[in-house]
A = this chain, B = another copy of it.
Amino acid sequence: MAASHFGEKVYIWAAFYQKSQAIDMKTTSQSAHQTYIKQHQDRFLGELFDLLRIPSVSADPKFAPDVRRAAEYIRQRLLEAGADSATIHETNGHPIVYGERIQDPALPTVLVYGHYDVQPADPYELWDSPPFEPVVRQTKEHPEGAIFARGACDDKGQAYMHVKAFETMMQSGTLPCNVKFMIEGEEEVGSDNLEIFVQNNKDLLAADVILISDTGIISNTTPSITVGLRGMSYVEVEVVGPNRDLHSGRYGGAVANPINVLCNMIARLHDEKGRITIPGFYDKVTNLSLDDRKAMHEVPHNDDEFAADLGVDGLQGEEGYTTIERVGIRPTLDVNGIWGGYIGEGAKTVLPSKAYAKISMRLVPDQNSDEVTDMFAKHFLSLAPKGVKVAVRPHHGGEPAVIPTDSLEYRAASAAFEECWGKAPVPTRDGGSIPIVSLFQRELGLDSVLLGFGLDSDNIHSPNEKYGVFNYLKGIETIASFYQHYAGMKK
Interface residues of A (CB under 8 A from B): 1-2, 4-6, 8, 10, 58-61, 119-120, 122, 126, 188-190, 230, 232, 234, 236, 241-257, 259-260, 262-264, 266-268, 270, 306-307, 310-318, 323, 326-327, 330-352, 355-358, 360, 362, 385-388, 395-396, 430-433, 456, 459-463
Residues of B within 8 A of A259 (CB): 266, 334-338, 357
Is B461 touching A253 in the complex (CB atoms < 8 A)? no
Is A461 touching B315 in the complex (CB atoms < 8 A)? no
Number of identical monomers bound together in the oligomeric complex:
2
* A7 to B390 Cα, complex, angstroms: 31
Residues of B within 8 A of A335 (CB): 257, 259-260, 263, 340-341
Is A347 touching B189 in the complex (CB atoms < 8 A)? yes
Is A462 touching B246 in the complex (CB atoms < 8 A)? yes
Is A249 touching B348 in the complex (CB atoms < 8 A)? no
Is A462 touching B349 in the complex (CB atoms < 8 A)? no
Is A347 touching B248 in the complex (CB atoms < 8 A)? no
Within the complex, the shortest CB–CB distance from A262 to chain B, in Å, comes to 7
Is B249 touching A316 in the complex (CB atoms < 8 A)? no
A358 and B336 in contact (CB under 8 A), knowing A245-B462, A250-B430, A346-B58?
no
* A70 to B253 Cα, complex, angstroms: 34
Is A339 touching B338 in the complex (CB atoms < 8 A)? yes
Is B119 touching A348 in the complex (CB atoms < 8 A)? yes
A249 and B433 in contact (CB under 8 A), knowing A312-B242, A352-B336?
yes
Residues of B within 8 A of A357 (CB): 259
CB-defined A-B contacts under 8 Å, sample of 26: A1-B348, A2-B247, A2-B248, A58-B346, A59-B346, A60-B345, A119-B348, A189-B347, A234-B347, A250-B430, A252-B334, A252-B431, A253-B330, A253-B431, A254-B316, A256-B316, A257-B334, A257-B335, A259-B266, A263-B266, A263-B335, A263-B338, A312-B387, A336-B347, A338-B338, A350-B461
Is B245 touching A344 in the complex (CB atoms < 8 A)? no
Is B362 touching A350 in the complex (CB atoms < 8 A)? no
Is B250 touching A349 in the complex (CB atoms < 8 A)? no
* A255 to B257 Cα, complex, angstroms: 29
Residues of B within 8 A of A266 (CB): 259-260, 263-264, 267
Candidate in A120, A188, A268, A341 with the most chain B CB atoms within 10 angstroms: A341
Residues of B within 8 A of A314 (CB): 256, 385-387
* A306 to B313 Cα, complex, angstroms: 48
A336 and B351 in contact (CB under 8 A), knowing A244-B462, A345-B59, A346-B189?
yes
Within the complex, the shortest CB–CB distance from A360 to chain B, in Å, comes to 5
A338 and B340 in contact (CB under 8 A), knowing A247-B5, A360-B248, A360-B349?
yes
Cross-chain contact of A349 among B1, B126, B317, B341 (Cβ < 8 A): B1
Within the complex, the shortest CB–CB distance from A466 to chain B, in Å, comes to 13
Within the complex, the shortest CB–CB distance from A190 to chain B, in Å, comes to 7
A327 and B243 in contact (CB under 8 A), knowing A59-B344, A335-B341?
no
Candidate in A264, A316, A395 with the most chain B CB atoms within 10 angstroms: A316
CB-nearest residue of chain B to A264: B267
* A435 to B242 Cα, complex, angstroms: 27
CB-nearest residue of chain B to A58: B346
Residues of B within 8 A of A254 (CB): 10, 306, 315-317, 323, 326-327
Is A461 touching B245 in the complex (CB atoms < 8 A)? yes
Residues of B within 8 A of A344 (CB): 59-60, 120, 122
CB-nearest residue of chain B to A249: B432
Residues of B within 8 A of A338 (CB): 259, 262-263, 338-341, 343, 355
Is A431 touching B251 in the complex (CB atoms < 8 A)? yes
* A229 to B375 Cα, complex, angstroms: 46
Within the complex, the shortest CB–CB distance from A338 to chain B, in Å, comes to 5
* A316 to B338 Cα, complex, angstroms: 23
* A430 to B342 Cα, complex, angstroms: 23
Is B311 touching A242 in the complex (CB atoms < 8 A)? yes
Is B58 touching A316 in the complex (CB atoms < 8 A)? no
Residues of B within 8 A of A250 (CB): 5-6, 8, 10, 327, 430-432, 456
Is B61 touching A345 in the complex (CB atoms < 8 A)? yes
A256 and B462 in contact (CB under 8 A), knowing A250-B432, A349-B234?
no
